[in-house]
Each structure stands twice: as structure tokens, then as C-alpha cells.
Chain A
Amino acid sequence: MFKTALLAASALALLSSPALAESIKIGFVTTLTTGGSVIGEDMRRSVELALINMNLKMGDLDVEVIYGDDEFNPQKGRQVTERLVKQQDVDIVAGYIWSNVLLASANVVLDADKILISSNAGPSQLAGKGCNPNFFNVSWQNDQTPMAMGEVLNQKGVENLYVIAPNYAAGKNMVAGVERTFKGNIVGKDMTAWPDQLDWAAELSKVKAANPDGVFIFYPARHGPAFIKQYQQAGLFGQIPLYSVFTLDSISLPRFQEAKMEGVLGTIMTQFWAPDLDNEQNNRFVADYRAKYGTYPAFYGAQAYDTMFLIKSAVEQLGTKIHDVDAFRAAIAKADFPSVRGDFAFGNNQFPIQNFYSREVVADADGNWTTSIRDLVLEKNQDPYAAECAM
């Protein structure tokens, strides 16, 4: 089996060695199996939608997207990245939901002198000292969204805040972010086991005993719905306002609606985007997504959609010379593409400089639950690590 694989692979290699580019191959790493695949699916749908909307063409080149499944595991993510870079010989690598998968995989792409675009993960390591000319981020840096939330909490006059987040790197970044801008007291802080803990009975009892003015949480993926449900069962909705980041999104809201949990309506969160952010590109994206898949896209999808149009804009500038990495990099850095968030520009560390809004859970005209933009909280915000980046 071992030898046949080798032979088959070498046969393939002989077939595919183009001198001039007729197509562009994009490797897209995301989570397609395990519980994390809800997010991966949203991203893949959005990538497919982007491909349809560009007629499978970027400039004169045909587009081929090869998906890699990280199985929610950094080692697997690294291996699949290696396969994309070294075996499939993709021209550019994008995707990545999880910070740990991205950190494990980044040097595979960067060592091969290829461009890497993160469509979601924004760890501080790659934003600050570890910034790299070939690395771009099309989402946000982890600290920014909770920093916006800290401002919102100040505006709402919250004095005593209780913080609950999972005990892993992103969770710690989120807590650190809110602590950067929140001016009141943090009366309680629980960092819970990740990803195993799905029952917060003990923590919620502590919240009740502390009786704060607000609770700040960060629970992505399947943890969000479980937490919010227990918040309701503990009788805390209506008693203590819940403020969240990356917890309520278009993936989880339909489930809440199915479960008739009216408590989440009116909940405030912060984000760089919402389905009703009004601009031409976003309106088209959201309308197409809803027409094709029946639900609102989540922000993960929005970022993936932007990623594809960003690459397209660069390829259009380059024509067939996509193998010239310096030119490719310069073309991407211009960020001359229609973004679902309106204006888009990269900072010195090649993370976006962008607006952050507060948004609220509402029912749309047809009664479907979604999120809607309320106020602009941070304007043209650059992440706090950019100063440490030497570029």
C-alpha cells in the first residue's frame, strides 16, 4: 500500500507541472469533521458562493479550491497544510478557524515562501513580534472585539462585572481584551475547562451569589447555546444582563429560536460585521447565502467570502504571473477589493484596520432571529499588538 501510494503520487507529479499559470490553486484549511465542523461548513458554503459569484474565474485564471480538514486538531491541521503546500502545490493557503491550528501550520506555508491568509484565527503572536510579510489576516485580532465590548460596558454604566470564559488561549485573550478597556470592577472570574466543560451549574451559582451588573462571556461553537440555555434555566435572564463576544451568531440563533428561548432577544454583543451591515457587497452576499442555504451567514462565512474576493483582486492585478511571490504579496497588501464590511485596509502588521459595532439579537421582518447593527463603538481600530510588529 505504501509503495503504491508512492508510485501513484509520482505518476501524478509527472502529469502536473505547468510552466505558465492557467489556473490558480487555493488551499483552504478549515474544520470539516467533529463538532467544530458547523463553523467549517459556514466557511465552505461562503467560499462556494464566492466562486459562483465570480464564475469560477479570477481574472483569466480558472480557480480551484482544495479544502483541507484540520479535524479540530493542530497536528492534523499542520499535516494537511503540508500536503497542500508540498504535494498539491497550491499557490496560496487560506482558511484556519482556530488559533492553535494556525500557529501549528503557519511556518509550513511561510517556510515554503507562499502567502498565508487567515480567514478567522487572529492570535497575538502573529500580530505582534511574529508578524510576517507573507501572512495576512482577514478577520480581526483576538483582543479587538472584547475591547469594543469593554467600551460598551462603560457606556451602559456597568460597574461590577462577572467574567466567564474557557481556559485556553483565545479565552484568555478575550478576557484580557475586555480588561483593557472596561473601567469598573471585575467581581468574579471563572476560566472553565475547554473544550470539555458544557455544564456551568457551579459557575452560575457563583454569579447569582455575586449579583453583578453584568456578565461577560466568550463561548464559541457548540458551547454558546449550552451556556445560554443554562443562563435561562438558572433564572438569570432579565435579572443580570448578558454581554457576549463570538457566542451568539447565525449558526446558533436558529437553534435558540427552535428552542423558543426568547431570553436571548435583545442581547448585546460586539462585532466588526452583521448580516444587515449596509453595503453592496454584503447585501449581495447575505441575499445569495439565504437564497441558497436558507439561513443567515455567520461572520465566519463573511470572512471566508472576503478572503476569496481579496485573492481575486490580487490575481486580477497580476494576470498570469501569480508565481511571483513579491508581486502577489504587494497586490494583496493593497486590499483593493469589495469587502462585505465596506472599507477595508491592512495595517502595518497586515491585520485589518476596521470598525467595531455593537449589535443586538432581533427578529427580522419574517420573524427569523438574527443580529442587527446598533452603534459604532470603535472606529478604524487597529489592534494593540501592531506596535510590536517591525514591518
Chain B
Amino acid sequence: MNYVLLAEQFLNGIQLGLLLFLLSAGLTLVFGIMDLVNLAHGSLYMIGAFFAATFTALTGSFLIGVLLALPATLVVGIVVEIVVLRTLYARNHLDHVLATFGLILFFNELVRVVWGPAGMSIPLPAALDVSVSLLFGITYPIYRIVIILVSLAVAVGLYFLISRTRIGMLIRAGASNRTMAGALGVNIPRLFTLIFGLGAALAGLAGMMIAPVTQASIGMGEQILIFAFVVIVIGGIGSIRGALVGALLIGIIDTMGRSFLDVLLLVVISPAAAETAGPALSSMMIYILMALVLAIRPQGLFPPRGRQ
């Protein structure tokens, strides 16, 4: 076993997991507190990426690009909430799925009309565009380390926001009992808009962080969205802690599957069969994991208290 490779793959898994956490944190809050299934969460991830690409191109600086794109995505999120989603809260999940499915179609086509079909790349400062040597002979892309650090900072910030501030208190109150919080004088509609905006900004941030790696492209939100849903379902809907654990679990398992599954399969089956089964199994892995978790714990790993 090559320990350098193992360590590097572990880092890759953490990086993917933390990025998924950025995306899932907003999704699980919106879901847990407003009871809204938002398939269009991935569209906000895409919009964030395109905003960052545009602003980076205009200002010539990725940092300024991100700082401008964050409030822009926040605004888009708030507009979507006020125009479309607000009317949906009283409806059932099925209506949510449908209306937000419509939003996906709309946003994908809108992005194609506005930014063209080719997608956009975000140039990084040369210093970030290379790899750096860490301990024990591990070399790792600097920019991926940046992603890890930024996501960790956001996770810590989110923890303080929710556990130590007044807004966080309201969010927790809304999460455990919406009606009661409303009766006690919390402005529920404003709280919802705020939470949705926060979730949108987090999703946008995830898109902005990954865009220099994968480019901003149409439809980038859908595939990652399914990952994010798997994360929050495994973690338990409405639980930020669950989202963090679920995201890291998915990130590491997916990466490890892609790295070592074919080698492991060779022990059991013939090379020809392993060549077919390896990629198939590693694509299916996260779904198998989700099915397993739900079969054993139908409410996910960390079902929030006070909800059934």
C-alpha cells in the first residue's frame, strides 16, 4: 500500500466533503426549517459560479470577483424566495419538487442565453495554480487547500452564527417548532427569507470555490445537487452537524471508491470483469450507502430533536 497516495486521497475526500458541506448546509436548513424541497438549490450553485467568473473577468481579481458574486447570489436567492418559493411553503413536497424542477429548466436556459453555451473558466493567480509539497512527500494543489480552509472557516462561522447569535437562536427556534416561534412574535416570513438567502449564498460560494477547478458550466448544479441531497438525507434533514458528517462521509467514500475499488475488486474477480464492474460500482457507491443508511435508520444519522 502506498501511504502517500492514501494520504493524498484522504485529503481529496476531505476537500470534496467540505465542498459538499457548503452546498448541503443551506439545503438542510431550508429543508429542515421551512420544510421546502428545493431542487433549484443546484441552480444557485451554478449562478454563483457564473457570477464569480464574470466579476473576476471584469475586475481581474478572483478575490474581488468572489466578494462581489456573494451578495449578487444572495440577491438572486432572495428574489427567487419572494417571487416563487414563498407561495409554496403551504404546499406539499410534491408541489415543491415540481415548481423547483421548473426553476432548474428556467435557470439552465437563462444561463445559456446570458453567458452562452460554452461555460466560463476562472483564471487563478499563478501562485494558486500550482501544487505545493506538504509533509512526508505529499504534494497537493494549493487551490484545493484554499477550498479546504475556506470551507472550514465557513463551517466554524456557521456554528457560531447558529449557537451564539440572536439570529441563530431564531433559526434554532424555527427549526424545532415553527408555529411556536411564530406565536412568540418571531417574524417568520422575514426569518425564512433570511435563511433562504443564507442558503443561497452558501450554495453560490460552493460554486464559486469549485469553478476555478471545474469551470462554470450549464447543468453543473444538477449532479452535485443529488450528492447534496444524499448528504442531507444520510445526515438527517435539518441537522447542520448531520450535514457535516454526511458530507465528509460521502466525500471520503466516493474518493476512496474511485481510487481503490478497482484494485480491491481484482482480489475477488477477473481483471476483465473488474474493469467493467469497478467504474459501475464506484458510481453507484453513494446511492448504495444512502440506501443502507435509510434501511437501518429511516430518519438519517442525526434526526433533529423535536421533529418526527
Q: Do chains A and B touch in the complex (CB under 8 A)?
A: yes
Q: Does A10 count as interface, using CB distance less than 8 angstroms?
A: no
Q: Are B143 and A233 in contact (CB under 8 A)?
A: yes
Closest to A260 in B: B123
Q: Does B95 count as interface, using CB distance less than 8 angstroms?
A: no
Segment 85-99 of A: residues with Cβ below 8 Å from B: none
Residues of chain A within 8 A of B5, CB atoms compared: 205-206, 208-209
Q: Are A35 and B217 in contact (CB under 8 A)?
A: yes
Q: Does B182 count as interface, using CB distance less than 8 angstroms?
A: no
Residues of chain B within 8 A of A35, CB atoms compared: 117, 119, 217-219
B contact face: mostly helix, strand, loop, or mixed: helix
Contacts A199-B214, A203-B258, A255-B118 given; does A209 touch B4 at CB 8 Å: yes
Bound Cα distance from A208 to B133, whole angstroms: 13
21 contacts between A and B (CB under 8 A): A33-B112, A34-B219, A35-B217, A36-B117, A41-B117, A167-B283, A189-B275, A192-B258, A199-B214, A201-B15, A202-B259, A205-B8, A205-B9, A209-B4, A209-B8, A222-B118, A222-B119, A229-B121, A229-B215, A233-B142, A261-B123
Contacts A190-B258, A208-B139, A258-B121 given; does A34 touch B218 at CB 8 Å: yes
Contacts A38-B117, A201-B12 given; does A258 touch B123 at CB 8 Å: yes
Bound Cα distance from A341 to B139, whole angstroms: 44
Q: Does B294 count as interface, using CB distance less than 8 angstroms?
A: no
Q: Are B215 and A233 in contact (CB under 8 A)?
A: no
Q: Does A230 count as interface, using CB distance less than 8 angstroms?
A: yes
Q: Are A201 and B144 in contact (CB under 8 A)?
A: yes
Residues of chain A within 8 A of B220, CB atoms compared: 198
Return A106 CB to nearest CB of chain B, in Å: 26
Contacts A225-B121, A259-B123 given; does A193 touch B279 at CB 8 Å: yes
Return A80 CB to nearest CB of chain B, in Å: 18
Bound Cα distance from A167 to B282, whole angstroms: 11
Q: Are B259 and A229 in contact (CB under 8 A)?
A: no
Bound Cα distance from A36 to B108, whole angstroms: 13
Q: Does B141 count as interface, using CB distance less than 8 angstroms?
A: yes
Q: Are B215 and A226 in contact (CB under 8 A)?
A: yes
Residues of chain B within 8 A of A193, CB atoms compared: 279, 282-283
Q: Does A251 count as interface, using CB distance less than 8 angstroms?
A: yes
Closest to A199 in B: B214
Segment 244-268 of B: residues with Cβ below 8 Å from A: 255, 258-259, 262
Return A205 CB to nearest CB of chain B, in Å: 4
Q: Most chain-A CB neighbours within 10 Å: which of B16, B130, B217, B255?
A: B217
Bound Cα distance from A346 to B88, whole angstroms: 60
Segment 249-266 of A: residues with Cβ below 8 Å from B: 251, 255-256, 258-261
Contacts A33-B109, A208-B139 given; does A191 touch B275 at CB 8 Å: yes
Q: Are B255 and A201 in contact (CB under 8 A)?
A: yes
Closest to A35 in B: B218
Residues of chain B within 8 A of A202, CB atoms compared: 9, 12, 255, 258-259
Bound Cα distance from A41 to B117, whole angstroms: 9
Total A-B residue contacts, Cβ distance less than 8 Å: 121
**Beyond A35-B219, A203-B258, A222-B217: 20 further Cβ-contacts under 8 Å?**
A34-B112, A34-B218, A38-B118, A193-B282, A196-B283, A198-B215, A201-B144, A202-B259, A206-B259, A209-B5, A222-B215, A230-B214, A233-B129, A233-B131, A233-B213, A255-B119, A258-B57, A258-B121, A259-B121, A259-B122
Residues of chain A within 8 A of B258, CB atoms compared: 190, 192, 202-203
Residues of chain B within 8 A of A192, CB atoms compared: 258, 279
Q: Does A130 count as interface, using CB distance less than 8 angstroms?
A: no
Q: Are B16 and A201 in contact (CB under 8 A)?
A: yes
Closest to B220 in A: A198
Q: Does B270 count as interface, using CB distance less than 8 angstroms?
A: no
* A191 in complex: contacting residue of B118, B123, B218, B279, CB < 8 Å: B279
Q: Does A235 count as interface, using CB distance less than 8 angstroms?
A: yes
Closest to A262 in B: B126
Contacts A37-B112, A202-B9, A202-B258 given; does A229 touch B213 at CB 8 Å: yes
Bound Cα distance from A251 to B121, whole angstroms: 13
Residues of chain B within 8 A of A196, CB atoms compared: 223, 283
Q: Does B278 count as interface, using CB distance less than 8 angstroms?
A: yes
Q: Are A199 and B16 in contact (CB under 8 A)?
A: yes
Closest to A236 in B: B131
Residues of chain B within 8 A of A226, CB atoms compared: 213-215, 217
**1/0 contact string of B1-32 vs chain A (CB within 8 Å):** 01011001100100110000000000000000
Residues of chain B within 8 A of A36, CB atoms compared: 117
Bound Cα distance from A255 to B119, whole angstroms: 9
**1/0 contact string of A26-69 vs chain B (CB within 8 Å):** 00000001111110010000000000000000000000000000
Q: Does A232 count as interface, using CB distance less than 8 angstroms?
A: yes
Closest to B226 in A: A196
Contacts A37-B112, A199-B213 given; does A235 touch B275 at CB 8 Å: no
Residues of chain B within 8 A of A387, CB atoms compared: none
